Structure 1
Amino acid sequence: MEAPPNSASLGKQFEDFRSHLNESGNLKDRIRAVAVEIESVTRLMHSYLLLVHQSKPVPEVLDTAKAQIIVLKELYDKLAGIVRECPGQYHGDWRSETQTAVTMLAFMHWLETGALLLHSEAQEKLGLTTPEFGLDVEDYLVGICFMSNELPRYVVNQVTAGDYDCPRKVMKFLTDLHAAFRMLNLRNDFLRKKFDGMKYDLRKVEEVYYDVKIRGLATVPINGNPVGSVLIASVHYNMTMYNVFSIYWSKFYCAFNMVLIFP
């Protein structure tokens, strides 16, 4: 049977524990302070982006929101300096803030290009380009799932403003995105639940699209170019009237010639 540790060695062990916990607590406090700043910036970005739901000009909204990307990049650079002291630890202390940052960046990118913000592009915008401190793939995927939540509301407001082609574009984007996610074997319960929510976003957009289409307001592509159904109906009407006029003109012309030949 081993001899019990003497009081001196026991005291030293717990003194080391106390020192370690103090250092750990200080690091977490510093990380949390930066995370709070990141959260504040993303909340500000979100408040700017909400203006697109009020039919504000998209370029104007994007210019205002993009100004905060530089601030985000500086904050992540500051966070990287702290994390170097404890590599691989305390990721949970800034995880949700990073997911929200990806959501804002992805929504801005979609508004500007109509395409998905890639993982490498998100890393570049946030300055998370080093092997020691990069953008976690699951954080990126969760952020993209959150971004899809913004699209049904955007579609409804755009249709209200008279953009009847918006549902078709968003439906195509979400259909492709949903299909891409289905390629993944999602073992993270939280991420899987967020992905499950994407199908409801897609369903809402589909309902708006079908409603617009049934009302005859949806656009129909002709030779690769979307043309409004109102314009199509107008073209059909004009062509029909032209054909009717041509038939009656032909009959009149034949009758007139018959009169000339057989007075």
Structure 2
Amino acid sequence: MADAGDSSSSSSSSSMEKQFEGFLQQLEQSGNLRDRIRAVAAEIESSTRLMHSCLLLVHQSRPIPEVAARAEAQIDVLKGLYRRLAEILLELPGQYYRYHGDWRTETQTAISLIAFLHWLQTENLLEHSEVEQKLGLDSSEFGLDIEDYLIGICFMSNELPRYVVNQVTTGDYDCPRKVLAFLTDLHASFRMLNLRNDFLRKKFDGMKYDLRRVEEVYYDVKIRGLAPTGDSTGDQGTQA
């Protein structure tokens, strides 16, 4: 009976050992993959930092075409980096959201900068599909998470009050009207969403203050009689 017990114990020990050897291999594989992803994410952060420094020049009244040319060079860099991320994730299909957190913050920053650049050039919102196109993302395999896009757009709105103030100081008194119209529409569009992500909701709440700051500048310009004639923007007001 003792021999049977020893045999059973040995078998159980061997089974346990094999299981944990399998765990070890999976953890090492996952760790190596995550290290490679984080290395690319660090390069994305570096690229967005350079792009941000380029876009800051717009607050110094540098011509938009000059600012855009410098910033757009980094979009090509980012496109190559996201291609590398996609290639890494192909090694473990179906694991996008397992590792998503390792590059999402950098992606949100990239979206905010690209969207701000797009607004400077067109005064329109950069759509989700347009961001994917600019970054070379394939929605079927390695796409852009919707919440990342929305958070990035919220970050982009944070740049607009500063831009408005700086433009007014240089004599562009029509800028507050245009930015106010854009932010009002954007804020109203966000209100259509049932936001369950606490961080996204917090960022959206911040957009309300961006809108109010732009409103204050716009009304100050209007009261002082500096707004261009024919300004038909009404007292739109922010919604609580």
Aligned pairs (5 A) from 1:134-145: 134-145=143-154
- In structure 2, the partner of 1:146 is 155
Q: Where does structure 2 lack aligned partners over 5 or more consecutive residues?
A: 1-7, 234-240
1:207 match? 216
| Residues 218-244 of structure 1, C-alpha deviations (whole Å, 9 max, x = no match) | 12327x8x9xxxxxxxxxxxxxxxxxx
Q: Which amino acid aligns with 2:65?
A: P
Q: Secondary structure at the match of 2:173?
A: coil
Pick the aligned partner of 1:8 from 14, 17, 23: 14
Structure 1 distance, partners of 2:209, 2:217, is: 13
Determine the C-alpha separation between the residues in 2 that align with 1:140 and 1:98.
Answer: 8
User: What pairs up with 1:221-232 in 2 under 5 angstroms?
Assistant: 221=230
Choose the corresponding residue for 2:50, options 36, 40, 44: 44
Q: Partner residue of 1:19?
A: 25
Residue type at the aligned position of 1:31: I
Offset from partner CA, 1:126-151 (integer Å, 9 cap, x none): 01124010011100000000000000
| CA deviation profile, 1:28-85 (whole Å, cap 9, x unmatched) | 0000000000010001000000000011111100011101111110000010000112
Aligned length: 222
Partner of 1:31: 37
TM-score, normalised to structure 1, is: 0.82
Q: Distance in 1 between the 2:129 and 2:26 partners? A: 36
Distance 2:163 2:146 in 1: 26
Residue pair 2:132, 2:139 contacting (<8 A) in 1 also:
no
Q: Does 1:185 align with 2:191?
A: no
Aligned to 1:126: 135
Query: How far apart, CA to CA, are the structure 1 residues paired with 2:228 and 2:88?
Result: 53
Matches within 5 A, 1:44-193: 44-86=50-92, 87=94, 88=96, 89-193=98-202
Name the structure with the higher strand share. 1
- TM-score w.r.t. structure 2 length? 0.90
Q: Distance in 1 between matches of 2:58 and 2:120?
A: 9
Distance in 2 of aligned mates of 1:129 and 1:166: 36
CA contact (8 A) 2:112 2:153 kept: yes
**Percent identity for Structure 1 against Structure 2:** 72
Cα distance in 2 for residues equivalent to 1:107 and 1:55:
15
Instruction: Please tell me the root mean square deviation across aligned C-alpha atoms, in Å.
Output: 1.5
Find the aligned partners of 1:135 and 1:13 in 2 and give their Cα distance.
36
Q: Which entry has the higher C-alpha Rg, 1 or 2?
A: 1
- In structure 1, the gaps of 5 or more residues are 227-263
